[in-house]
Structure 1
């Protein structure tokens, strides 16, 4: 059992380590990718600047070396070498003189459609990068609009894709750890159930033999004592049946809720401290039926009541009140006058292994919550608690 709880703590540590690693990898990757993007943007801007210089040379009306074929060839090669960066060159009248790598330009477009497309592209480009001025020898100014290449745009989305992948890995890892923990909890509960059922078998047989022996000589033994011993034996049988049912789907039957709770509280009242005043009140009709598994439901009441007695250190009041919430639901409030539950522990009381007592496995309330919520489709929670004054647990069951 203790090993199981060590596994839970180890899982928590592994979750923290995994989260830190994912955070470090994600942060490092995002920083590196961002740095790479900035370098590529700077490089593409340099290419565009070179493109602008070539445009200034070719389109200048009064360049001194206009007949220089070699230089013109080199400049043309520079212009044509741009295969990836979308650019649009406009003159001083804002008329398009050259364009390269523009998405959407097809042979089927009319002149008006092409003009509208280029204008929209220029507006879009201007939002991302300021246009670079082109200065001619005659003093007139043109502009070169440009945007990032397809490769750079794809790299820009890389951090988001990487973040999504890391998030997905983190979620999968968390679900894996959580599933592992739930499986381990189930193994703990099933193992505890089987072991307890096994250990109770021998003393139960022995007690049954003693009951028959004392009944055979009624003059020597008080009959009321044997009746109580028989109740304990029956209780052991009940406990065995309870533990044996863990791990399988229990059978729910229509039971009179008032009678079930009263029978158990009468039994429990004679076996707890005489300094604990135990009372039961019900506002339900005497024939109110609720679909429950009696053996398991009594276990819920027992766990809560025993925790309450421990919280009161054997001195105080323990009150059970059964009330209708609606035509579909009924509630059982179990109130003690014990030490109460602090706000820090309010969410932990149902966690496996949590206990404020020096002894115990810390499984009582965990099992109780599981029985109510998973087997009976109800609810079990702390309705109210005040440190030094007491606690009220509420069980809600479906009445239909």
Structure 2
């Protein structure tokens, strides 16, 4: 059965041509067709005239169709020639049968010069094998094939994307060529930048890493692995950044600080290495947020500052030791000078002091009816003489190396002797010492223990110029030693001076030369004991003398 062929409205069917031809014949003045059955010369003539006009109309239609086809062909030719991509028709031998202007321009020649040339001659030698495989696969396949190649040109490297599809029973290959040189250059620049970044990341001496807000480590470099002593990078990536902080709270504080500031510069903290040791690190961190302002990840750059920190601490310690040594040297020099002059000064000063003391004794006896003011002046002069003698004695005792003779004696003997030398003002409350306490015996040198107690009592009285409480306690410690405690409620000793009060020549008073407590501790140690102090500024001081029992 013959299929109906759809008709183009611009090109009517043959039957319609006959109707149009008869109409045109009538318009030219011709006779209408005779009735059926009339067979004569006029009928034949009429038929011929109609047929002639029909042929003329068909010819006109053919000419019009030809013109339209030529116009369409010209349009397609323009589209083909001036298309921004190159078009090629290749035969089964890979030779160029046809190309457009863009295709010829890609090859660097005019169009006539490339026709019938093997396309492979224009391909870079290193990629001809890939091109040949592309053509063979495209000719054999039913669908589109593609590949990227570099064209062989003397003036510049041109990279193209070839896309081909077979035609004419797989004997012809239609190929489009798109210039991707700029894209390749961008890709190359991007790859070089990526390689540069990778080298910088891998070779950076600082520990670089990228982590998520929960502490998971996404990326890290070898320096990061070294700083925290990970066995390998894989172990580092399996760990959690939070585990490197001393506590979970420390890590959360760091994350919250980063959320708040967005960038942290020279953030110092202690982090824990895999071996458990602490590393002092200095870190710079940059936060990345999403469109909702939520922290997505953060990049960190840290370096191990432990060595510098330790060196700094050692330097500070060394400087402190140096200052202490300098102070000790200065004290030793002063003590050496004191030792050189002690003997001479003691003799030169004690002689006139003895004369002065005798004179005061004589005046006191010769003036039985002296006024109260005169007696007070004499007492003041006697106290000044005693103070001068005490200072001279302290100087000699400190310079000399006494070897005390120890014996057993009740503590009360030393306390009684000391209290006779140190009057207790009425403004100071001083409860009586229990008799059984004073009967406890110690094994020591009585004179030296008395000197210690005198010094402690004098310090207590001087610490309470406006009155206060003075207590003396005696007891036996658990280790068998005897403890004698002298406590006051005076001004106390500042904490920064507690370690200095036993140093020779150190004094916060306007009187004395700073040897009293130094000599007291020395006497305690010479007698096999110890002298300690407890004090709170503004609340009072307590000295404890520990001595061996018989």
TM-score bracket relative to the smaller structure: 0.3 to 0.5
Higher strand share: 2
Q: TM-score, normalised by structure 2?
A: 0.34
Higher relative contact order (CA 8 A, sep 6+): 1
Q: Which has the larger radius of gyration?
A: 2
Q: Greater share of helix residues, 1 or 2? A: 1
Q: What TM-score, normalized by structure 1, do the two folds share?
A: 0.45
